[in-house]
Structure 1
Amino acid sequence: MLNILLVEDDLDLAQTLVEYLALENIACDHVANGVAGEKLAGETAYNVLVFDVNLPGQSGFRSCENLRADGIDTPILLLTARDGLEDKLQGFESGSDDYLVKPFEMAELVARLKALSLRQSGQAKRFQIADLTVDVQLRRAERGSRELRLSPAGWKLLEILMRNSPRVVSKARLGQVLWGDDLPNSDSLKVHLHKLRKLVDAEGESPLIHTVANHGVALKVEE
């Protein structure tokens, strides 16, 4: 079952959407303002976030920008009555992944939600796990007070691990990120992962990069 968050101040529309999505086996939490939506999005693992643009107090554009700045990489769909090109461009520039103009067909909304749920956004630019912070736009990574000087391959590996944290990323996927379909032998990946682990997990620090036997690698705080 998909689990989505709907941030919509039109309560009649929100109730209709929640009831219809339930029939499609999609669970839907609802709040009526952007601040509450941001809080829930940061605390709960949703498959997709749906924000109305014209929200009281804070627009859906602003909420979208704030979530991306906080490293929330969940796909975001914006709902709005604005159908101008400039409005759509503003939506994408704020970090959204899709844009649906009201009024819309319910079947189209469901199709878009299912499509978005299959991928990560890729829009978030800043991430933090424990005392490790990574800004992919500024190309800066720090562990505590240490700046991590990463190679191009190290950056690619750290970014995909960050974007998927705490989930395990298969070694096949990591290899594809580095070399596409032209994969070298497995020792090459081991060398790059070893170098990355030495940079991220210095002596005396709690390890964040974990090899999961027969599955892959995960970047997470060990419980």
Structure 2
Amino acid sequence: MQSSGVVLLVEDNRALVQTVGGYLESRSFDVDYAMDGLEGYRLASENRYDAIVLDGNLPRMDGLEVVKRLRETDRVGTPIIMVTARDTLEDKIAGLEQGVDDYLTKPFSAQELEARLKAVIRRNRKELCGQVLQVADLTLDPMSQQVRRGGKPIAIASVGMKLLQILMRESPRVVSRREIEREIWGDELPDSDVLRSHLYNLRRAIDRDFSPALLQTVKQAGYRLADLDASGQEEDDVSVDRAAASA
């Protein structure tokens, strides 16, 4: 069964974590957990999620402060649903002004949270699909499925197109193998290591006739699509497999 989405649940009430988290997992969501605001902020800023469910009243860092830092400092655009006992209009306005996408007042039903999660994830994915992605001189139009580098059209197969869209969307972040496989195939992973073959074909398509090479394998971390010279990223433990790309 394909994943409904990857969700970060930030909540310090253990009973609520078990109830809500267990329900979401039973509905095919992949759920990461944080029990305080500081840990939630760290996970949200370092990883990619389809949505964040955030308690408003948390130890170590208040929920609104988590939202403020994610939006203003880290420029994280992940949809955030705030769940809290603060039910005044002023509280809701404060949350929305900081960048909260939806607001759910405790107590709430897990079914309603699921519906709201699916709505914000669907809306966010639709917005992302409308944007032309660009890394250096490589562009991808998700609507027309056209890829160009240096103005030259490039033909890429369907799985390679999904892979390229993930890497371009997250650029210059390193994306783990687990994240890529989960987004492309969900829980139905292929028996063999087909991801390696798709990466090889993608590298040949976008890097073989162009410079610099953009697709990098970061040892023990994952894969990244970026112009290292332009972005100032470190090249330690990075392999661009130039020989493979030119083969």
What's the offset of the Cα at 1:173?
9.1
Partner of 2:79: 75
Deviation at 1:168, TM superposition (A): 4.3
Deviation at 1:119, TM superposition (A): 2.9
User: Normalised by the size of structure 1, how large is the TM-score?
Assistant: 0.59
Measure the CA separation in 2 of the matches of 1:99 and 1:11.
21
| Aligned equivalent of 2:55, options 52, 55, 58 | 52
CA distance in 1, matches of 2:97, 2:78: 16
Q: Which residue of 2 aligns with 1:63?
A: 66
Distance 2:42 2:139 in 1: 22
Number of aligned pairs? Answer: 154
- 1:60-87: CA deviations, max 9, x gaps? 1110111112111110000101111110
Q: Deviations over 1:176-221 (max 9, x none)?
A: xxxxxxxxxxxxxx9xx98xx9xxxxxxxxxxxx975466985745
Structure 2 partner of 1:88: 92
What TM-score do you get using the length of structure 2 for normalisation? 0.54
C-alpha deviation, 1:109, in angstroms: 0.4
Which residue pairs with 2:45 in the alignment?
A: 42
The whole-number CA distance in structure 1 between the counterparts of 2:145 and 2:123 is 14
Matched residues in 2 for 1:29 and 1:73: separation?
18
Identity of aligned residues (%): 37
Which residue does the alignment assign to 2:9?
6
**Structure 1's 12 and 84: CA in aligned 2 closer, same or farther, altered over 3 A?**
same
| Alignment partners' CA distance in 1, 2:35 and 2:115 | 23
1:32 has 2:35 as partner? yes
Within 5 Å, which residues of 2 pair with 1:32-181?
Answer: 32-69=35-72, 70-120=74-124, 161=133, 168-170=140-142, 172=144
One-letter identity of the residue aligned with 1:12? A
In the aligned structure 1, how far is the partner of 2:58 from the partner of 2:51? 18
> How far apart are the structure 1 equivalents of 2:143 and 2:109?
41
Q: What is the CA–CA distance in structure 2 between the aligned matches of 1:92 and 1:44, rounded to whole Å?
A: 23
Which runs of 5 or more residues in structure 1 are unaligned? 122-156, 175-189, 198-209
Contact 1:46–1:74, Cα closer than 8 Å, also in 2 = yes
1:20 aligns with 2:26: no
DSSP 3-state at the match of 2:25: helix
2:132–2:139: 8 Å Cα contact kept in structure 1? no
Q: Is the 1:75–1:119 contact (alpha carbons within 8 Å) kept by the matching residues of 2?
A: no
Q: Structure 2: where are the runs of 5+ without partners?
A: 173-213, 217-247
Q: Any conservation in 1 of the 2:133–2:141 contact (CA below 8 Å)?
A: yes
**Structure 1 pair 170/111, CA: closer, same or farther in 2 (3 Å)?**
same
The question of whether the paired residues in 2 share the 8 Å contact of 1:73 and 1:120 is answered with no
Cα deviation for residue 43 of structure 1 reads: 2.1
Deviations 1:39-72 (A, max 9, x none): 1112222110111000012111110111112111
Q: Quick one: distance in 1 between partners of 2:55 and 2:154?
A: 40
Letter in 2 for 1:24: R
